[in-house]
Amino acid sequence: IAGITQAPTSQILAAGRRMTLRCTQDMRHNAMYWYRQDLGLGLRLIHYSNTAGTTGKGEVPDGYSVSRANTDDFPLTLASAVPSQTSVYFCASGSITGELFFGEGSRLTVL
Amino acid sequence: QKEVEQNSGPLSVPEGAIASLNCTYSDRGSQSFFWYRQYSGKSPELIMSIYSNGDKEDGRFTAQLNKASQYVSLLIRDSQPSDSATYLCAVRDRTGGSNYKLTFGKGTLLTVNP
């Protein structure tokens, strides 16, 4: 059982390019999340989805968009990447008791 | 702005000692609390969840919750070098229901010295 699968694991991207980080879960959780983690700032919520077909903004949503067409997939798109979006991105799914389970992360560098 | 505060550390303890990690939170209505362990370069891993006042034990780990003081802690008994990691405290948003957003503290770096 894979749990949460993220792709790519690492990417170097030129500023201004569009990038989609993929996230797939096989845990059948309704809720899914995207966090970014930066040194000294901790984990910050970008966007979330409580169930397929719905999404919401987190603490730092600007420059990012998400979609939730089905239960399993929750892609995160950077429409026009900027250097400040250099970070480690974690996708997570949430159980009904509120516990979150994380993917292995995607390390993104924007030059 | 909901806040979760942790001492950033580093906290250094000798092997075999008890490590005590602390966390305070600002939202008095919070109901669910979690501890995650994150090794360097890895993703956060859930190690404990606690929902009621008091202690919850799981192996060498004990989570303690005091809602009146808005305080949650994690004790690690018989600390091992493999426990060396950053420990993240997380608090579930008050709204509950289908909204499971968690707010994370910035983490405490624990080093267990052999």
- Extract the tokens encoding A55: 């999404």
Q: What is the pLDDT of residue B56?
A: 96
According to DSSP, residue B16 is labeled T
* Closest residue in chain B to residue A89, using alpha carbons only: B43
B39-96 confidence digits (pLDDT tens): 999 999 999 999 999 999 999 999 999 999 999 999 999 999 999 999 999 998 765 5
- In angstroms, the separation between the Cα of residue B107 and the nearest Cα of chain A is 7
Residue A97, pLDDT > 70, answer yes
Distance, CA of B20 to CA of B41 (rounded, Å): 23
**Cβ-defined contact of A102 to B34 (cutoff 8 Å):** no
Closest CA to B35 of B25, B26, B43, B45: B45
Does pLDDT of B14 surpass 70? yes
Provide, as residue numbers in chain B, all residues whose Cβ is less than 8 Å from the Cβ of A102. 43-45
In angstroms, rounded to a whole number, what is the distance separating the alpha carbons of residues B76 and B80?
9
Inter-chain touch B46–A41, beta carbons under 8 Å:
no
pLDDT of residue B44: 97
- B4-6 and A100-102 as β-strands: parallel, antiparallel, unpaired? unpaired
pLDDT at A95: 87
Class of residue A65 by CB neighbours under 10 A (exposed 0-12, middle 13-18, buried 19+): middle
Query: What are the b/e assignments for B63-98, b being 16+ CB within 10 Å?
Result: bbbeeeebebbbbbeebeeebbbbbbbbbbbeeeee
The per-residue pLDDT for B95 is 59
**What are the φ and ψ backbone dihedral angles of A23, each rounded to 5 degrees?**
-145, 130
Q: Where on the phi/psi map is residue B29: left (φ > 0), alpha (ψ -120 to 50), or beta? A: alpha
What does the pLDDT look like over A25-61, one tens digit per residue? 999 999 999 999 999 889 999 999 999 999 999 999 9
Q: What is the pLDDT of residues B28-49, one digit of tens each?
A: 888 899 999 999 999 999 999 9
d(CA A105, CA A8): 9
Facing A50 at nearest CB: one of B34, B99, B102: B99
Give the per-residue pLDDT at A33: 96
What is the per-residue pLDDT for A96? Answer: 83
Instruction: Say if CB B1 and CB A44 are below 8 A apart.
Output: no
Q: Using CB atoms, pick whichever of B46, B99, B105 lies closest to residue A99.
A: B46
